[in-house]
Amino acid sequence: TGQTNSMVGQTMIDQWTQQYAPLDGTSVSASDLLYVPRTVTTKTETQTKVTKADVLLLAGSTRGFGPSFGQSNADGTYDTDGFVTLLDPDTGLVVDLNANNANGRNSAVNPLFSSSQGNKKSSLRIRSTFDGHDVIHGLCIDTKTDNVDSVYIVGSTTGTLTRPSSKATTAVDGSLEIETPSRDEMLGSTPRRRAFVMKLNLEDGLSTEWVREYRSEFGRKSSSSGGGDGTDAYATGCAVSSDDGAVYVGGVVTDGGRITGDGVGRHRHFSSGGDDIFIVRVASDSGSAEWARQIGSRGDDRLASRGGVILDNDGGAILVGTTSGSLMRSRDGDADTSSMDAFVMSVSKLGEAVTPVDPAVRGYAS
């Protein structure tokens, strides 16, 4: 009616609209958008002033380039890269961290818009070595604070985001020769997708604090050659437990693979077949894995994208996803064994979870 339309017209106010397009006309895949609350405190002899410095954080993946995507010019490569970009929530424009903002925010009280902090990045390109394809699947922040200083990124890569370890050998003449591992030595003859989690510091623009990668070993598509062969693994969600100084990273390991890598390999994991979910609890300051779990049935079990990991009141993780197997109920009598159920599962901060119904499942325990 006219009254309803009037109410909608009053509440749905068009404040701004922005479009972010690569300069070369290629497409963009947007994966997440977070509102990040930030405050800046300044003190004088007579008063203390708290100024809001909130930002929007846009993340996605593209082959293209431009100032909104962490790369201003073409560089001759055409692999997919991730990007994370800071936006002004009042205008939607990319934040200029090295000059006063046109919206009137004062650099003297807002270091996020400071002109005196050096060359900060307002858009970061997530690019792996060996021309891998890098896809961002989600972001997470500490939701219990009004001054967020870090953001965590989860995704997948067919390259590696960690620096390849060089080894030194002594030549015949006594000099040292530095040898960097080749692509096949690092990734195997058939590179698979690796899951990753990355921590970025917002105090210094978008600077990387640490990166951790998790890959699959064995599985139905694996072979015995190369360190990178296995099946695909990708991280789709995360959640920050600030009270415990931890971050939960969740994702999927495919085709009967077993999750390993960056501290996860010391835990013994099993797959009961198909795709399984995994959950890793890492220390937020260092990225070191505290524990890891792989959970699955004889069917395919997949974590939901982005919102697949949230926190409970005790600092544990709640997982949500889909399954075609007997994960939480017996499906032996189901007429359609390919249909998917939704599941919700609680995992304690110590990594304890309910053993799946499927008697063949061993993967949850380590």
Indicate if the pLDDT at residue 348 is higher than 50: yes
Q: CB of 40 within 8 A of CB of 24? A: no
- Work out the percent of the chain whose per-residue pLDDT is above 70: 74
**List of residues 6+ apart from 334 with CB closer than 8 A:** none
Length of the chain in terms of residues written? 366
Residues 282-294: tens digit of each pLDDT: 999 999 999 999 9
Residues 164-178: tens digit of each pLDDT: 544 444 455 554 444
- Return the structure tokens found at 212: 């951790």
pLDDT for 81 equals 94
Write down the residue that tokens 């003449």 correspond to: 173
Q: CB of 292 within 8 A of CB of 250? A: no
Q: What is the mean pLDDT of residues 313-334?
A: 86
- Work out the percent of the chain whose per-residue pLDDT is above 90: 43
Distance CA 364, CA 54 (A): 40
Distance CA 94, CA 85 (A): 7
Number of Cβ within 10 Å of residue 313's Cβ equals 5
Q: What mean pLDDT value characterizes the chain?
A: 79
Distance CA 125, CA 27 (A): 16
CA dihedral over 7, 11, 14, 19, signed as positive or negative: negative
Q: What is the mean pLDDT of residues 80-88?
A: 94
- Return the structure tokens found at 49: 């002033």
Q: Which of 302, 298, 235, 301 is nearest to 264 (CA)?
A: 235
pLDDT for 30 equals 95
Distance CA 206, CA 150 (A): 9
Write down the residue that tokens 């690019």 correspond to: 127
Q: Which of 13-17, 34-38, 307-311, 356-360 has the lowest mean pLDDT?
A: 356-360
Distance CA 161, CA 159 (A): 7
Indicate if the pLDDT at residue 112 is higher than 60: no
Distance CA 303, CA 291 (A): 18
Q: Which of 2-11, 30-39, 139-148, 296-305 has the lowest mean pLDDT?
A: 2-11
Q: CB of 222 within 8 A of CB of 231? A: yes
Res. 212 pLDDT band, cuts 50 70 90: very high
Q: CB of 198 within 8 A of CB of 186? A: no
Indicate if the pLDDT at residue 50 is higher than 80: yes
Indicate if the pLDDT at residue 328 is higher than 50: yes
DSSP characters over 290-340: EEEEEE--SS-EEEPTBTTEEE-TTS-EEEEEEESSSSSS--TT-S-TT--
